[in-house]
Amino acid sequence: MNKKFCKVVAMFVVTATLATGCRSTEEYKKIAEAGNKYAEAVDQLLIAAGDIRIEASSEKFLRNDRVTNLNVADYNKVSQVDDRRIEILGKIRKHNHLLQAYFAKLFELADSQAPQQASTEIEGITSNLNKIGKELQGSDLITDPSVFAGVTNVIVGSQLRGALREELEKRNKTIVLELTIQKELLQALSQSIEQDMALIKIAQEERLVIRPLIQEELISDNKEWIEFRKDVLTMQRRSNELKEASEALEEFKNVFQNFIEGKLTIQRVNGFLREIDSFLAIVEASKTTSN
């Protein structure tokens, strides 16, 4: 399972603690662990988003085929839409990887006596990040591009020095923009999945739950029928989880801006970690229920 997205969170918050006086190794460990768990959960949700899209279109195929016999052209038309969505999800995960790489190098700038190599590598990372970010801004998931127009430069606080200060002065607007792009994508995916899940619920409840129940023959496997019904009635949780992930990323963006401005406190860091814990609890509860 890819953990890169959560490492973005982990690397940045560790960098933030370097500038706010939190020097405890145990604190670093706690932050990194929370970030890794967060990223793993989000990555699972992104993978699930692709699976859900395919499941929804498959249910639509079955439903429509009962009304009129479909042909290859009908199939290809829908599959092309699914292929584009899977491609976008792949780009979102690549975007995560580049953000993770950026914050890893940002951490090196904050903790290194020889930051030149990290600065050089950041140039390549941000070039690729900007390229894929522009591609994602043009995806059909972004319905209001004007939201990105409000991203502006942040005044770097006086507590930051050296190479780290130079980097944040140069590129804080770029990184805030990329975080905004990802937050908007997660929010849009939540809304898209909500629609997909509604379609799946209606189709599967009719096909797997209601139809076997009302037919004259007794249900052959009662336990299986109960499991089908439970799955159908609880499947809406996935869209809620992505909404929580989007909200957590918005908080992460705010923490990053506070860090740049020199306004970040340990209390704010701890509040952010509590938000991550809340998100993880929702994901874990859903996982336990589905098992």
- For the segment 210-228, what is each residue's pLDDT rounded down to a tens digit? 999 999 899 999 999 999 9
Closest-CA residue to 151 (of 126, 176, 183, 184) = 176
- The tokens for 159 are 């507590």
Residue 174 has pLDDT above 60, yes or no: yes
Going from N- to C-terminal start, the domains of the chain cover 4-290
What's the CA gap between 273 and 279, in Å, rounded? 10
- Tell me which of 118 and 89 has the higher pLDDT: 89
- Tell me which of 218 and 45 has the higher pLDDT: 218
Instruction: Give the dihedral sign, CA 22/270/282/254.
Output: negative
Residue 159 has pLDDT above 60, yes or no: yes
In this prediction, residues 40-65 reach a mean pLDDT of 85
Q: Tell me, what's the pLDDT at 239?
A: 65
Q: What residues contact 99, with CB distance under 8 A and at least 6 apart?
A: 5, 8, 129, 175, 178, 179, 182
Residue 23 has pLDDT above 50, yes or no: no
Residue 185 has pLDDT above 80, yes or no: yes
In this prediction, residues 181-198 reach a mean pLDDT of 87
CB 36 within 8 A of CB 3: yes
Q: Please state the pTM of the whole predicted model.
A: 0.74
Q: Tell me, what's the pLDDT at 205?
A: 92
- Tell me which of 269 and 186 has the higher pLDDT: 186
Instruction: Give the dihedral sign, CA 247/250/256/262.
Output: negative
Instruction: Give the dihedral sign, CA 138/149/238/40.
Output: positive
What's the CA gap between 78 and 75, in Å, rounded? 6
